[in-house]
């Protein structure tokens, strides 16, 4: 087992899913996990304590020119609360210096990426894990290169 887990939502039409599937895990010393469906995070959450780093990736907006780092995760999935009486917001505990091809997203999202990220940070905080976590939305033109940059920027 490696120190790093990279996960994404499994979908044949998503570039991040295809690239992660094809990425040479041994070369990058990573483990990969594909979450099938927006609500099936149980398997993902069970894996968190086993890793020093967990990185979530998904496709960025269709017209995006740069990849983005999402450092905030809110207790919302659409109009619903993710965890009743849960912490309102978590901040990524990943120590990273972003390359110029990335930007830090300052707004909140409330879709499946935020949901998985919020649940992971809740798991890390509730169980006082040493796991470091961050979520990234990657540009379609440079997904594999962006994954390499993330690993480099985290000094992993």
Q: What is the mean pLDDT of each run of 10 residues along the chain (156 residues)?
A: 84 79 86 79 91 93 86 95 96 90 89 94 97 90 78 72
| Per-residue confidence (pLDDT) for residue 1, from 0 to 100 | 59
Q: What phi and psi, each to the nearest 5 degrees, are found at residue 30? A: -125, 160
| Per-residue confidence (pLDDT) for residue 54, from 0 to 100 | 96
SS3 state at 17: helix
Calpha distance 94→42 (Å, rounded): 22
- Domains in the chain (CATH in brackets) are 4-153 (3.40.630.20)
Predicted model pTM: 0.91
């Amino acid at each position: 087992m490696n120190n790093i887990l990279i996960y994404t939502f499994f979908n044949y039409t998503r570039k991040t899913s295809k690239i992660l599937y094809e990425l040479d895990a041994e070369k990058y010393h990573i483990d990969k996990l594909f979450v099938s469906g927006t609500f099936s995070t149980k398997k993902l959450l069970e894996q968190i304590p086993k890793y020093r780093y967990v990185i979530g990736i998904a496709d960025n907006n269709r017209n995006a020119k740069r990849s983005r780092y999402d450092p905030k995760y809110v207790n919302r999935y659409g109009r619903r609360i993710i965890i009743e009486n849960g912490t309102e917001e978590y901040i990524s505990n990943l120590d990273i210096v972003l390359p110029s091809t990335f930007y830090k997203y300052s707004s909140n999202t409330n879709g499946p990426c935020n949901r998985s990220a919020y649940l992971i940070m809740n798991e890390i905080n509730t169980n006082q894990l040493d796991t470091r976590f961050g979520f990234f939305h990657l540009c379609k033109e440079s997904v594999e290169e962006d994954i390499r940059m993330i690993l480099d920027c985290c000094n992993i």
